[in-house]
């Protein structure tokens, strides 16, 4: 005898729930919709570039037949070589036979705005000082400045565009 009573209570509960859902759907269909557009910010909330340029770039002066004339520094510490090899931090590659696989390293410091060049090649890296190229000692850090001319290997010559002062 209790079984039919429980069955009736379940049926009535489900019917009540179905009626409430139908009323809610009708209210959603016919209720007035308020304009919910939010005002757009005047500037990006998260800028894609920093306000000031803190990293440098290389401008190719000679030695490469390429349409790319400027190479933005990919990081503050990266290698320059003959082949792009990110697992060894070689992030700038020059396809030229006098460039070593791991030719040089460029290190930069955002706080002091100082940049250093370290030769790691067998073919040599030079910096132009007083109108003449001076060969760097392999493994020794040499500070580089804005507008310094650097020669990697025999022919690839670049101008460094760095934040900070010139030599």
Distance CA 133, CA 130 (A): 8
Q: Which CATH number fits domain 57-161: 2.60.200.20, 1.20.272.10, 3.90.550.10, 3.40.50.180?
A: 2.60.200.20
Question: Distance between CA atoms of 77 and 65, rounded to whole angstroms?
Answer: 26
The per-residue pLDDT for range 110-155, each reduced to its tens digit, is 788 889 999 999 889 999 998 899 999 999 999 999 999 999 998 8
pTM given for the model: 0.64
Cα–Cα distance list, 152 to 73, 76, 145 (Å): 16, 19, 16
* pLDDT at residue 104, rounded to an integer: 95
Question: Domain ranges in the chain?
Answer: 1-32, 57-161
Instruction: Return the pLDDT at 122.
Output: 86
Q: Give the model confidence (pLDDT) of 26-75 as tens digits.
A: 888 887 766 655 555 454 444 444 444 557 889 888 888 777 788 888 88
Which pLDDT does position 131 carry in this prediction? 87
């Amino acid at each position: 005898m209790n079984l039919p009573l429980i069955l009736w209570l379940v049926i009535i509960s489900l019917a009540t729930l179905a009626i409430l859902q139908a009323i809610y759907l009708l209210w959603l269909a016919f209720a007035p919709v308020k304009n919910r557009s939010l005002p757009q910010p005047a500037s990006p909330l998260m800028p894609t570039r920093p306000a000031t340029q803190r990293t440098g770039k290389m401008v190719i002066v000679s030695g490469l037949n390429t349409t790319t004339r400027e190479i933005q520094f990919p990081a503050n510490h990266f290698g320059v070589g003959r082949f792009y090899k990110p697992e060894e931090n070689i992030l700038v590659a020059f396809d030229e036979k006098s460039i070593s696989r791991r030719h040089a390293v460029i290190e930069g410091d955002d706080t002091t705005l100082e940049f250093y060049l370290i030769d790691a090649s067998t073919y040599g890296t030079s910096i132009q000082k007083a109108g003449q190229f001076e060969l760097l000692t392999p493994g020794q850090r040499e500070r580089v400045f804005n507008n310094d001319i650097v020669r990697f290997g025999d022919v690839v010559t670049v101008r460094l565009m760095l934040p900070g002062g010139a030599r």
